[in-house]
Amino acid sequence: MLSPLPLRHFLLALAVAGVWGTNFVIIKIALEHLPPFLFAALRFSFALVPAMFFLPRPAVAIGNLALYGLLIGVGQFGLLYVAMKGHISPGIASLVIQVQVFFTIGLSMWISHERVRPFQWLALLLATMGIAIIVLNTDGTTTFIGLLLVLTAALSWAGGNVAAKQGRPTNILAYVVWSSAFAIPPLFSLSLFTEGWDAISTGITQADAATWAAVVWQAWGNTLFGFAAWGWLLARHPAATIMPMALLVPVFGMGASVLWLGESFPVWKLAAAALVLTGLAVNLLWPRMRAAIHGAF
């Protein structure tokens, strides 16, 4: 039987979920002045330096490190930032990106021939119904192109998960930091060729204290603190005890978007959120619930 988290560890896990969830509102703040690819390039630059001088390069293949950096830096966050530049609201983005769980399962099944269990099919069906509701109700705050970009970002995140699993880094924080080196050049290149030098110079010139604080928070709060704390918790507790806390990430994301940005959540958004969150919960909690039921009898 799994033991409950000590209060201090529970509060730490709650803090990580809060940081990762409210992160979507922070992204929106930075995008008011910075073009998306430039913002992503700056975020990973700050994540790499100065942390690289304190963390040794992980003992994984360079190709694996580069693949993770490209998938997470360019594929996940680059596309997410583009989507959030007027194509999708922070609350819905924080929800939709979580389907990376199901993409990860699909990629693992394809690459490693892992078997998908019946409860995972049910979880996928519920989440797909939620995404379908969003597709049918796209409006000025959530567009089809924005939804497509975030789904592609989620697929890239899933690819990063598989790459990390294959690389088997012993220090996930060092892995994330050093992989950033491979995300920075393509992100700056994409910014230069798609956003243009004028947009880059204007963005940097007009960026205020809140914008730079958002960039630093993305790099140090979301990346360094988040991954370090999460890894620390996973090293001390079973994954089945820690991972359910991740279900709070979209809850924090939607709540922060309502409180800070005034995002409305009509019935269709609430229904979509309920279906996606239920699908995530089934996928994450069903094995634990089944084990508890069998243990009781």
The residues near 27 (Cβ < 8 Å, ≥ 6 apart) are 39, 80, 81, 84, 90, 214, 218
**Cβ-based neighbour number of residue 135 at 10 Å:** 14
Mean per-residue pLDDT of the chain: 89
Q: How far apart are CA 79 and CA 226, in angstroms?
A: 21
pLDDT score of 202: 96
SS3 115: coil
Are residues 20 and 248 in contact, defined by beta-carbon separation less than 8 angstroms?
no
In DSSP notation, 1-44 reads -PPPPPHHHHHHHHHHHHHHHHHHHHHHHHTTTS-HHHHHHHHH
Are residues 242 and 233 in contact, defined by beta-carbon separation less than 8 angstroms?
yes
**Per-residue pLDDT tens over the stretch 180-205:** 999 999 999 999 999 999 999 999 99
| pLDDT at residue 1 greater than cutoff 50 | no
| Angle between helices 7-30 and 248-261 in degrees, nearest 10 | 50
pLDDT score of 2: 47
Q: How far apart are CA 119 and CA 100, in angstroms?
A: 17
DSSP H or E run through 256: helix 248-261
Cα of first residue to Cα of last residue in the chain, in angstroms, is 13
Higher pLDDT, 65 or 239: 65
125-129, 284-288, 291-295 — which is least confidently predicted? Answer: 291-295
Higher pLDDT, 287 or 272: 272
85-94, 138-147, 206-215 — which is least confidently predicted? Answer: 138-147
33-37, 209-213, 246-250 — which is least confidently predicted? Answer: 246-250
The residues near 22 (Cβ < 8 Å, ≥ 6 apart) are 252, 253, 256
pLDDT score of 5: 74
b/e 28-50 (16+ beta carbons within 10 angstroms → b): bbbbebbbbbbbbbbbbbbbbee
pLDDT score of 220: 94
Q: How far apart are CA 119 and CA 125, in angstroms?
A: 10
**Per-residue pLDDT tens over the stretch 224-283:** 898 889 888 877 877 667 777 888 889 899 999 999 988 888 888 889 889 988 988 888
| pLDDT at residue 76 greater than cutoff 60 | yes
| pLDDT at residue 30 greater than cutoff 60 | yes
